[in-house]
Structure 1
Amino acid sequence: MSEVGQLTREHWRGEWNGDYAAEGERPDSYRDYKGTVPLLATTLRLLAAHGPHGPVWWRYGPTSWQPLVEALDNPDDYRAYSVRDEARRKAQDAMCRFGVGGWVSVTACQAGVFPLVGC
């Protein structure tokens, strides 16, 4: 199975896209699966024991057996990245709105008038 995965990697892996991160922060990223095909494998023993909807599917890339629906999903694609990005934006907005002396406008915070951490 591992040789099949290595020989077909360019067809299922997707392209990694990373973000810029400020100093001390961990960059976030996602995989773009446009033009790729999920490559799945299983065994007759697993199918007989758990059926086709059980955790019997090995998707090249992730490192565990999964049910079919999970194996066909792309949990590290742009959808997941955009959810994390929106959460980061909301957290930054909350930090910018509450300054040392009370509420601060987002515009003033982003302009650097009020030098707050994370703005």
Structure 2
Amino acid sequence: MLLEVDRVNEPVDELVDKLHRYTEWFELLAPKADAIKEKAARGAAVHDFRLWSRIYPATGREGYVPVAFVFTGKTAAQRESRMRRLEQAARPYFAGEPYSGSGAGITAVDYHQAVPVVVTELERITADPAGAAGKVWRRLGREEWQTLGEALDNPDGDRLYAVQWEQARRRKAEREAADREARRPVCTNCGAKFTDDRWEAVRGRGASWGSDSDSLCGSCADAASARAEAQRLARRQAEEAAARAAAEPPAAARSRGVFRIGRRR
């Protein structure tokens, strides 16, 4: 952590300028780093190309190396005013950004390119029984006083993003499933919805979609196919019987004699 002690005796703009210079330094490329790959990197991966990561150990949290301002001197009201003015003016350096491409419902903050800034007062530290280990630190952008570990943590960062992204993915899947169900065909014979296999089979036939059989569910289509096959078989049998009858020679005509019986006179 980088530490700045301020005696409330210089313009706030000087403190903001320090954060600006820190940010510029954090963005310096390491020797022989690939600038093209660095620009394409996202999240924590970008730091692998930066000089600071070769000098400082990994913080285990999102963002650059934290900067702490310890104010002392003047009155408590003056120190509070100074912290508020620093918070307002330095927001571009510590506030983070929305996650790239995040949709509705994603409120998590991307802190990977931000400088975590915490503030405290020497008077507050000395008055707390736990000293600097107590709840004497405030992360700029927050209102509560916390321990240093709590102040540097990012509960609204990557962890929240992972939860919200999963929730958004699940909501999208549910919407898509509902839309699919709304489009699922219904059998025109029995009114049952098509099974996935039946729907896919019908869709797979492409141009044949819309035929009479394709408007039936699997069971009804099978029954209709069986009836049609029985009808075809019956027709074929009838045609074959008619053909056999037509091929048989005609029966010999039975001869008929004409007898006249007269009365003997």
| TM-score normalised to structure 1 length | 0.65
Contact kept in structure 1, 2:111 and 2:157, CA below 8 Å? yes
Tell me the SS of whatever aligns to 1:40.
strand
Aligned to 2:114: 36
Aligned to 1:2: 84
Q: What is the deviation of 1:31? A: 1.3
Aligned to 1:104: none
Q: What is the deviation of 1:32? A: 1.3
Aligned to 2:181: 114
1:12 to 75, 79, 94: 94
Tell me the SS of whatever aligns to 1:41.
strand
Question: Residues of 1 paired with 2:146 and 2:139: CA distance?
Answer: 8
| TM-score normalised to structure 2 length | 0.32
Code of the aligned partner of 1:114: E
Q: What is the deviation of 1:90? A: 5.1
Q: Quick one: structure 1 residues 35 and 84, their matched pair in 2 at CA, closer, same or farther if it must change by over 3 Å?
A: closer
Task: Mark the runs of 5 or more structure 1 residues left unpaired by the alignment.
Answer: 22-26, 97-107
Question: Residues of 2 paired with 1:46 and 1:60: CA distance?
Answer: 17
Q: What is the deviation of 1:13? A: 0.8
Task: Mark the runs of 5 or more structure 2 residues left unpaired by the alignment.
Answer: 1-82, 183-265
Q: Quick one: structure 1 residues 42 and 28, their matched pair in 2 at CA, closer, same or farther if it must change by over 3 Å?
A: same
Tell me the SS of whatever aligns to 1:65.
coil
Q: What is the deviation of 1:68? A: 0.6
Across the two proteins, how many residue pairs are aligned to each other? 97
Question: Residues of 1 paired with 2:111 and 2:89: CA distance?
Answer: 18
Correspondence list, 1:26-105, <5 A: 27-48=105-126, 49=128, 50-87=130-167, 89=169
Higher strand share: 1
Q: What is the deviation of 1:87? A: 4.3
Q: What is the deviation of 1:36? A: 1.5
Contact kept in structure 1, 2:95 and 2:114, CA below 8 Å? yes
